[in-house]
Structure 1
């Protein structure tokens, strides 16, 4: 197998000359080998030896500021959240060992779904074991063979996988392009089922969608609308309900998808909706029916966190201040950013290429700062990005430290 890495033009084969099923990954294997051969630390194998707070961990034996965790509201160390998880662990044990439709619905699962209904002021909520499964399950179930899904080309992998699993006709359009979206909708045959899938915040660049205009266009063409608010729930909007709330079109959206692994600070996914037939999804959605439900301690932490996020206006205001400060500081230092203005808690710094991006990532780590290195093919236009995700628990002093770390690392890596 070593030979396949060093000589990708001579793929490893099994007996009889049949190509190995791993041969398709040879270019990626070679890219990784080339990156590591340059002497940089593997940016995709970092181990956090100890997590001290939502914003600091021990990595490689040294204290490191965390700027790549999506822990937007800093709920992972909230005392009430932790206490709720410990109590549920004592009262209900470590896991359910079953599906929600069999033995896997505990009181805590109902409680967290009610918390989501209260948070969004909607009638129905359905909790999945991960955010990925929420998109996979909802999209593949409501849009099937003969239906059409119109989606932004920069949609998350879980959205694309949900489309593939449901076997609907998939019609992508140029990122955040309202006119392109409407052109696609016009071409769909009369009478066909239509679902428009959008995201509030796009996680690679940190930019937001023009949801109000897009939702209006989708409604005009008779489409149902699903908005993934994974990166805006808890933070954006007067009540933290996301970009749809902030742009005053939440009531026109049919399905909101979200996750517990970002602002909520634990793990899991969900869908909320006002559709009167929504509850049938519990019997027909395969990633919900055929997956073990979340452990009681997880839903207890999620429920407590969601209810606290209802009263987190001060945290939201501080996070916006952090975003504005970091965006301005990095822009003034000469870095090329993914957005002209701060639009979310994500600030992406565009790198010239993967090799220099990895060198910059490593230089930041040596400074004591962790960010995400995002690379092709996951990124738009094959860009290499250093993706920063701010936290409401980052102090103003930490944000200034971060700006200084970027300046020093950028100079050493030859980026600025």
Structure 2
């Protein structure tokens, strides 16, 4: 009688062992877990009780401070009363309520474009639009530092992916030159890159893309509401918005809620509602969310004073940290993100903890999310931070930096 030998099944979690070990080593050093912070109570766009401490928030992406705007909150409460807590359906079935149409109308007006399509998250907006537009046999030329949702959209669509060095116009053109004649090409760029807060040279890049017959998609998640005369982003600021085929954005930054969108002037764009799988096969946003988003987007059309104050905050924080001796991700302020480069993960985590004990929350970002294997503290300023709060923040950085030995 023969016995059947059964080999032990491989551990499907083995691929994560290195990350597990890094996390265990970090926690074993006694540092608070920087990825498990709990906000017990949110007091305003700039303050919360975090892990039991009254804390200034400098890592929330709430750029325009709309999360506590009275009109925005009132719109959400009213929608809850009128339409209930959720749609329980896809946009192409029972998931389109009056509020979904209203927020798409607001986006068309905000961007002065013909079409707007709202997704349940910003991640899904990139995933859906990119994977649907560029498929097998097409080419996607993209910046190497593109967001994970962009890379995942490329993978889902099975297009040929051609990355180029970050913000390098010459490298981008070299890639475009090599693409076979007659192939479909989508160039994907970001207005502001979320890790370092640096801005893309969109004016030059869009010109190069059009020279080779490519369509252009720009992700303005971290610039919408803040950059540009009307807050339409870097493409507006650099005068090329009318040459961009698709603008992707999110409601989870300047708009102050959750959701994603794409706006476009392409005459065939509406067919996306029937062929884009991440749009068709997911439940639509709750009525309260689209009501808050529509109200916020319309208020951002007239937020010039808030944009000006946010720029003041960005310049002061960037200049103050530079004077203190910190190494920053950009030589000058380019957005509402100020990245403070750390020597390594251990000291970055120690600095993060020291700031938290001072009463300041920032994001600790590490590889593989960061470029060039950097560890950094990412500061996201808000239009609701007062000038006095920015000075307080600088004092916190000085004390924590000296205590940890960063400066």
TM range (shorter): over 0.9
Q: Residue 61 of structure 1: CA displacement?
A: 1.5
Partners of 1:169 and 1:377 lie apart in 2 by: 22
The CA distance in 1 between the partners of 2:50 and 2:268, in whole Å, is 48
Report whether the alignment pairs 1:116 with 2:107. Answer: yes
Q: Write the distance in 2 (CA, Å) between the matches of 1:341 and 1:308.
A: 29
**SS of the counterpart of 1:45?**
coil
TM-superposed CA distance for 1:16, in Å, is 3.1
- Aligned equivalent of 1:313: 304
| Pairwise CA distance, 1:17 | 2.1
Task: State yes or no: 1:150 paired with 2:141.
Answer: yes
Superposition deviation, residue 129 in structure 1: 0.0
2:254 aligned counterpart, secondary structure: coil
1:400 aligns with 2:391: yes
Alpha-carbon separation, structure 1, partners of 2:97 and 2:9: 49
Residue aligning to 2:294: 303
Q: Aligned partners of 1:199 and 1:143: how far apart in 2?
A: 17
Matches within 5 A, 1:11-410: 16-410=7-401
SS of residue in 1 equivalent to 2:177: helix
Q: Which deviates further from its counterpart, 16-25 or 152-161?
A: 16-25
TM-score by length of 1: 0.96
SS in 2 for 1:402: helix
Instruction: Give the whole-Å Cα distance in 1 for the aligned partners of 2:395 and 2:228.
Output: 30
Q: Distance in 1 between matches of 2:369 and 2:284?
A: 29
TM-score, structure 2 normalization: 0.98
SS at match of 1:52: strand
How many residues align? The count is: 402
Give every structure 1 segment of 4 or more consecutive aligned residues whose post-TM-superposition deviation is greater than 4 Å: none
Deviations 1:61-89 (Å, cap 9, x if unpaired)? 22100000000000000000000000000
Residues 161-218 of structure 1: per-residue CA shift (max 9 Å, x gap): 0000000000000000000000000000000000000000000000000000000000
CA RMSD of aligned residues (A): 0.5
The alpha carbon displacement at 1:108 in A equals 0.2
For 1:60 and 1:270, the matched residues in 2 are separated by: 33
Deviations 1:218-241 (A, max 9, x none): 000000000000000000000000
User: In the TM superposition, what are the counterparts of 1:405-416 in structure 2 within 5 Å?
Assistant: 405-416=396-407
Distance across 1 between alignment mates of 2:162 and 2:51: 45
Q: Which runs of 5+ in 1 are unaligned?
A: 1-14
Quote the offset at 1:60 in angstroms: 1.8
